[in-house]
Homo-oligomer: A and B are copies of this chain.
Amino acid sequence: MKYKNIVFIAKSIDGFIAGKNGELDWLHSIPNPEGNDMGYLSLMEEIDAIIMGRTTYEMVLGFDGSWPYIKHVFVLSNALKEIPEALNGKVTILKGAEAEILKAVHELGYYKLYIDGGRVVQDFLKADLIDELRITTMPILLGGGFPLFSELPTSSEFAHIKTEVFLGQAVQSHYAKKK
């Protein structure tokens, strides 16, 4: 498949990607002495670019250290006007409907895309534009927070591709949308 939109994200057993107060610490609660990346680097090699929302972008900007992405990042935002000089050529701000955004990104030569960020994933799912789900379930009930999934206009069948358990605790399942 030339074009592919992939979601790669971690959730709690009860389907939250962040806790009631935005907590993300539970994502790192499993002892991981050898720094198992749970498929992240392999995804990075596989994709051409990343599409994320402003919240995710600003969270990553706020991290200590250098810009972590080796692939081009498209930030979806109506409000953002400019990016730090150091990110010139690495980050592009886009706005518009999901289908328009994809068209623009494809025309720039980026075909395999990692779709990231809570709202952006929900919007792409609503627009029926997700081809692959790679979901890692962490062994916790958060009890509330920001949900991975939201209401969809219709149901949507997927095929289970594979499931792998990382560090004995994190269950990652890959699904491909049935065409």
Contacts and interface: CB of A to CB of B under 8 A. Distances in A.
Interface string A107-137: 0000000000000000001000000010101
A148 B13 CA distance: 10
Interface residues of A, number: 37
A94 to B, nearest CB: 25
Given A149-B14, A158-B13, A163-B165, A173 B143 contact: no
A100 B162 CA distance: 43
A14 B130 CA distance: 14
Nearest to A162: B165
Given A14-B15, A14-B149, A155 B139 contact: no
Nearest to A125: B141
Interface string A139-154: 1111110001101111
B139 A143 contact: no
B139 A157 contact: yes
Nearest to A170: B160
Contacts of A133: 13
Given A26-B155, A160-B168, A163-B165, A141 B149 contact: yes
List the 9 shortest-distance A-B pairs measured between CB atoms, nearest first: A143-B152, A14-B149, A141-B156, A139-B158, A15-B15, A160-B169, A139-B160, A142-B155, A144-B151
Interface of A: 12-15, 19, 26, 29, 125, 133, 135, 137, 139-144, 148-149, 151-160, 163, 165, 168-171, 173, 175
23 contacts: A12-B155, A13-B133, A13-B175, A14-B149, A14-B152, A15-B15, A19-B155, A26-B155, A125-B141, A139-B157, A139-B158, A140-B157, A141-B149, A141-B152, A141-B156, A143-B154, A143-B155, A144-B151, A160-B165, A160-B171, A163-B163, A163-B165, A163-B171
